[in-house]
Amino acid sequence: MDKTEILDFSGKTVIVTGGTRGLGRVISESFLGAGANVVTCARNAPEKPVFSELNDKEAVFFETDVRNPDQVESLISEVVQKFGRIDVLVNNAGGAPSVKSSDASPRFNEKVVSLNLLASMHCSQSVFPVMTAQEDNGVIINISSVSGSRPNPAGMAYGAAKAGLDNLSKTLAHEWSPKIRVLTLAVGLIETDESSDFYGGDEKRLKLANHLAMKRLGKPEEIADMCMVLASPLARWMTGTTVEVHGGGESPFYLKEISDTSTEENS
């Protein structure tokens, strides 16, 4: 196997849901840069071309609410009609504002679970017949979060949905492999355009970073790089697993408490 050609996606078709902003945009840019035909979708069309100033190619955009199965089916049909195949699906659309668990309304919970879990189900089911029928089959990558494997105060629906996404990948991998590989990418604390909304200003983000083994927040490019590796033949024996990209994760808080207590006793 020629490793120099492994991350060349020329002639491949890649769908990135929620691919016009934040992490999704960077994932789309990375696959575009690797030669892929990239399709993005979101509920609302961007006001101007998203990628043309950074790449020679522009991703194809379809206005699609991925929570709506009928719209998803229409999206997949149009992609196949245009490109003839779908090689990679990145289920990236997701997110939720922070709300205390006691205050979250049933409607709010339904919307969060629909976007962060059911949408990935709809998209995965829709690409199944396409990927299984084509010679090189395909790869599905579900973008999850470390919030799915730890307590997630003020985000119960989001954390529960991301935990469900992990199980979804394992289940589909056993049903659909070896024709379709299905993987979960659990993302940690990363810097995006919306970082300040979640993590606060520079000082707060620096404090957060100091809790990570790598002592810095991640960059969207580092998540996109892993998407490309997982979608490539380098990961050809990987399916049904969750890959954590989180800078080593957060140090247990009790260690700092023990250290502070010890320092006080010795002073």
DSSP state of 191: -
Of 138, 7, 8, 143, whose CA–CA distance to 79 is shortest? 138
**Residue 87, CB half-sphere, CA atoms under 13 Å: how many?**
20
User: What are 5's two structure tokens?
Assistant: 């050609």
* Cβ-count burial 196-215 (b if 16+ within 10 Å, e if not): eeebeeeeebeebbebbeee
CA separation for the pair 92, 141 (Å, rounded): 8
Angle at 99 between CA 97 and CA 102, to 5 degrees: 160
Q: Decide if 230 contacts 139 (C-beta within 8 A).
A: yes
Tokens 């016009």, residue located = 20
Catalytic residue among 31, 128, 158, 176: 158
Task: Give the distance, in angstroms, between the CA of residue 173 and the centroid of all CA atoms in the same chain.
Answer: 17
Q: What burial class does residue 56 get, using C-beta atoms within 10 Å of its C-beta: 0-12 exposed, 13-18 middle, 19+ buried?
A: exposed
Instruction: Kindly report the number of other CB atoms within 10 A of residue 27's CB atom.
Output: 30
Query: Shortest CA distance to 38 belongs to which of 75, 92, 89?
Result: 89
Annotation says 158 is catalytic: yes
> Annotated active-site positions, please?
158
